[in-house]
Structure 1
Amino acid sequence: MAEATPAGSGEVPRPSAPPPDGMLRIRGGIGGLSFQFEELLAGAAALDGVVRELYALEAEADGVRRALFDYQSDSYSSGSNAIIAVGEAGRDVGRVRAELEHIAAQVRACHREYEFTEARNALLLRIGVSGPEYGSALRPFELPGVRDQVEHGMAMAPAGLALLLGLPAPLAGAVGMLSGPADVRHAIRGLSTTPGLEFLRPRPVTVVGSETAVANVDLSPAGLLRRAEAVGRTSGDIEVIRVDGGNRRAWTVILPGTQLGGLPEGTNPFDAAGIAEGLGYDSQATAGAIRQALRQAGAESGEQLAVVGYSQGGIHAMNLSRDKAFLAEFDLKFVLTAGSPVGGITPESGIGSLHLEHQNDWVPGADGLANADTKDRVTVTLTNELVMPPPQDFGLGPGHRLENYADGAEAVSASRDPSLQASTAALAAVAGAGGTATVTRFSLRREALPAQGVVTAPGPDRRAGQPPTARSAPRTGPAVKPVPLGVAG
């Protein structure tokens, strides 16, 4: 645990945020502030138990001292010395007990200061005044990056809308306080009911084809993200990797980022409407297709798995971590995301996650919420300088490029930060280190809008749990050149 006051200095230990590690700015995990406070409060509770025992010992010593009074006259010198010795021992116990009480009280006072700061920041967020300039003792003179500016703007959206409608500034501030930060989920659901925006509503997603091969796979964080880039080159595809390690099998699911074009309009689950499904409808349809793909790949109930997602894929991946139907069937242990707005998604207890964001990538801040700082959830902000791509390759900006995140993942794996070491170890415990694995690419399709008159091919008629064969069903949509399964990147 990182401490601003080292042990043995005679001062009460106070938690401190992890220092930057090169281009990595780390938040959460076993070195994060929240877990440090959890440890300190647990320690304070343990001290309370010791204090109670010392109170009893003090009382017992005083009882012994008083009992010796009756024998003092038998041998005045030795009797007096015994009474004095027992009395001094009792007072020594009292001094230790008082010091432990003081330490426990100081720890709790430190925690109250932390809670006050968090409550203050939450209040500022509710009134639409937020951003990295608040509660940022680590970098008070650092200008906010694009990611933080977007998150700040999203948090201020209700007050900004009130100003746009002509309300006076004080009243607009009150609107921001009452409504809180922008509720992206509510906004998307509202938009999907607007005439002409029906395509934002979720529609059934099914598996329509698969290809299976045995390949040599790099299962490091960087290797998995590069696989997400390769999977994303084919519209509507996801990848399921089976690793046979020892007495158990484990699975890793790879989900790509947003894809535009390449399939009949509205049939690609990872198009723009897929973002709306992820942020507004908890990935209900896509999660069902992922469960279907896992069953067809041969995954059985209760088997462990990790899910990796880039951009939109990270939203779907994190939604699986709170999907009760999915978790009832599979033992999801870890989620890795890169460039994904997932601050509003809270996973079930015991599921670890590692989130890579770049300070100049606006996409992770698009939901207006920062990722929680917990023991099992680590967020890494990359601060490396970026190379500006040519205009035709600009996309969502240089900070959002997946290769940049893959390079950051390599730095994460090399880091000696305790939070990152624990997080990458948790991922490796499920996915393994790499080697020969069975890889299945699945083609997913969303049901087309009825008004469009598009009929999607039916999914393969296969009982749940039956593994697919290579090319078990034809792909739909335009022909694409497949990416070799053994190539990471």
Structure 2
Amino acid sequence: MAEEYKERTVFSVEGGPGSVSYTLAEIAGAGVELGQLARDMLSLVERIQAEWFWLNGAAAGAAPYPHGPLDALLNALWAGRRVQEDTAALARKTAQAGASYAAAEARNAAITARLESLAALRQGLHAGSLGPLALFGVAQNIATSLRKPGTGLRDVVEKILNDAGPYGAGLLGPGFGMAYLLSQLRGQGTSTPGVKQAFVLRKLFDTAGLAHPGHMVVRQLPAQEWDSAEPSFPSGHASSTEGRPWTVKASIEGLLDGSNDAYKYPPGSIGVVRVQRPDGTPVWLVHLPGTEDWSTVDSANPFDMEGNLEGLTAAQAEAFKQQEVLMQQLIKESLRAAGALPGEEVLLTGHSGGGIHAAAAAADPAFLAEVNVKMIVIAGAPARNAEVPASTAVLDLENEHDLVTAADFGPPAPTPNWVTVTSHRPPLPEGTDLGDILKEAHSLDNYLDDAAALDNPENSATDGSREAIKTILGAGVAGAAVAGTKWVFQGKDVDDQPRSGTKSEKGAGTKNKSEKSDRYKLGVR
């Protein structure tokens, strides 16, 4: 399937080199550089002026008087002043142009969103006016969206989610529609789409007692538990916890393959790989799987629904009973146990829920104060609301029919550091069940095929991402195999207090979270 797949898959790319945001950043950068040049030139002009005053005084009474050299120096001073003033003015205009273009882009985006909301309100009012046939009107609106040419299921669902408020208000009648319009005029409902919904859902879980505050217990897994090539030992035999030699391909596919491996580890486990670069400095790779436990909201496995909501609402963690993002604790403790030192560069990968956690960690100032995240590579993850700083590169793979990526209510902003690649794969055979279409759209195996195609140098839109991967891993060429050392760590979400009818772990359930965190400081026991 791979070769035919790669030849026929089409990609659309937003952000990174060539995007409007990248160009605006270049304009702003040019303004800063021109401003510095103007300041440097001012020092030169002042030096020329000082030399002219000195030479003019020294030549007083001299015979013959040096008219020629003094006039030449004075002309150089005047010319230098003109060039310096012109450069300073150009720097101001360039900076102003960058800011004006950015403001215009933001204003246009806001106007477009407002017009789409009004259109949704109008559609809702029309459907509501049908009375008993209102449901048929709603169905017709959805069918029209689905039939729009060139639109994937992801975009349709994102539009439905974003239009739900105004459409629902219109559906309920003119009074509700007017109330919605007034709320917009008063600036209400301006929170980032996707964040509010995740916040409300997590609050409901808190209130209903479905989610319980806990702490992370981390155990390093011996290779026998995660590497099928490692020989097994009899029960009771001491197992080595040293890292195992490993090879990583310095490519998009090679990095995502680490998250694919993480699905094969015992539940709740992540992979950590140290690569020693040619200059002697290490770089650390952390590979996260996606959601592994859907059976309960809050399970012992941190890759569950509670974990996903922790990642989606990480910026508002103080509003919940569980105020620590446990997945970030797992990453930090695993890195420390493997030997990572503060300041050493780290690259995170994740699929689906793992991508949520990777983006949330890269956007958390407290996490970044301890972990130097240089890049994240994610696939099939609704992560656009994570405010990752410009210093961290992001490569975000999505698919036009992947509904999981619609859970953040829209596409990520196309910034210079955040590159979003959407794959438009060949259609599945006619008659394929909708469930199979959605499953294939979200499949990590298919995202790996996408990644392999994007590693092709002909896909110039990902040149910047491939170059970043090569540089971070210290590879001679993009796609080269680099040697490393690998560990696997398993995290367990343990409740701080016993649930009704249960006992806390080892009778310590009443201890507070900080005491438990100190107890498992190194994360290995």
TM over 0.5: yes
Aligned residues of 2:362 and 2:368 also touching (Cα < 8 A): yes
For 1:194, give the aligned amino acid: L
1:218 matched to 2:260: no
For 2:257, give the aligned amino acid: R
* Runs of at least 5 residues in structure 1 that lack an aligned partner in the other structure: 1-20, 61-89, 132-140, 474-489
1:451 to 486, 494, 500: 500
**Residues 294, 391 of structure 1: alpha-carbon distance in 2 compared, 3 angstrom cutoff:** farther
* Equivalences for residues 303-382 of structure 1 within 5 A: 303-382=344-423
**Residues 260, 45 of structure 1: alpha-carbon distance in 2 compared, 3 angstrom cutoff:** closer
2:336 to 292, 295, 306: 295
Q: Deviations over 1:248-296 (max 9, x none)?
A: 1111000111113699971111112221111123571110121111111
* Equivalences for residues 57-76 of structure 1 within 5 A: none
Aligned residues of 1:305 and 1:334 also touching (Cα < 8 A): yes
Match in the other structure for 1:119: 107
Q: Distance in 1 between matches of 2:171 and 2:215?
A: 38
- Percent identity, aligned pairs only, is 25
* Equivalences for residues 107-146 of structure 1 within 5 A: 112=100, 115-125=103-113, 129=117, 143-146=150-153
Aligned residues of 1:304 and 1:333 also touching (Cα < 8 A): yes
Q: Distance in 2 between matches of 1:37 and 1:229?
A: 36
Q: Distance in 2 between matches of 1:422 and 1:255?
A: 23
Aligned residues of 1:226 and 1:403 also touching (Cα < 8 A): no
2:489 to 442, 448, 451: 442
* Equivalences for residues 405-444 of structure 1 within 5 A: 405-416=447-458, 420-432=462-474, 433-444=480-491
Q: Deviations over 1:169-208 (max 9, x none)?
A: 3433444563136643333333333377433465323213
Aligned residues of 2:14 and 2:419 also touching (Cα < 8 A): yes
**Residues 345, 451 of structure 1: alpha-carbon distance in 2 compared, 3 angstrom cutoff:** same
Alpha-carbon deviation of 1:394? Answer: 3.3
Alpha-carbon deviation of 1:396? Answer: 4.6
Q: Distance in 2 between matches of 1:445 and 1:314?
A: 19
Alpha-carbon deviation of 1:221? Answer: 1.5
Aligned residues of 1:306 and 1:431 also touching (Cα < 8 A): no
Q: Deviations over 1:275-318 (max 9, x none)?
A: 11111235711101211111111111221110001111111101
* Partner SS, residue 273 of structure 2: strand
Match in the other structure for 2:53: none
Aligned residues of 2:274 and 2:486 also touching (Cα < 8 A): yes
**Residues 123, 447 of structure 1: alpha-carbon distance in 2 compared, 3 angstrom cutoff:** farther
Alpha-carbon deviation of 1:343? Answer: 1.1
**Residues 436, 220 of structure 1: alpha-carbon distance in 2 compared, 3 angstrom cutoff:** same
For 2:180, give the aligned amino acid: A
TM-score by length of 2: 0.65
* Equivalences for residues 189-204 of structure 1 within 5 A: 189-194=199-204, 197-200=208-211, 203-204=214-215
2:11 to 2, 15, 24: 24
1:39 to 26, 29, 37: 26
Alpha-carbon deviation of 1:28? Answer: 1.3
Q: Distance in 1 between matches of 2:503 and 2:163?
A: 40
Match in the other structure for 1:185: 195
* Partner SS, residue 257 of structure 2: helix
Q: Distance in 2 between matches of 1:49 and 1:307?
A: 36
Q: Deviations over 1:99-148 (max 9, x none)?
A: x98999799669746632431222443576399xxxxxxxxx95332222
Q: Deviations over 1:212-237 (max 9, x none)?
A: 42233334211222231231234211
TM-score by length of 1: 0.70
**Residues 194, 465 of structure 1: alpha-carbon distance in 2 compared, 3 angstrom cutoff:** closer
Alpha-carbon deviation of 1:428? Answer: 2.6
Q: Distance in 1 between matches of 2:38 and 2:283?
A: 47
- Select between 196-205 and 341-350 the one with higher mean Cα deviation: 196-205
Q: Distance in 2 between matches of 1:400 and 1:263?
A: 22
Q: Deviations over 1:341-364 (max 9, x none)?
A: 111111123111111111221222
* Partner SS, residue 354 of structure 2: helix
Match in the other structure for 1:7: none
For 2:247, give the aligned amino acid: N
**Residues 418, 244 of structure 1: alpha-carbon distance in 2 compared, 3 angstrom cutoff:** same
* Runs of at least 5 residues in structure 2 that lack an aligned partner in the other structure: 1-7, 50-77, 120-147, 224-243, 316-323, 475-479, 509-515
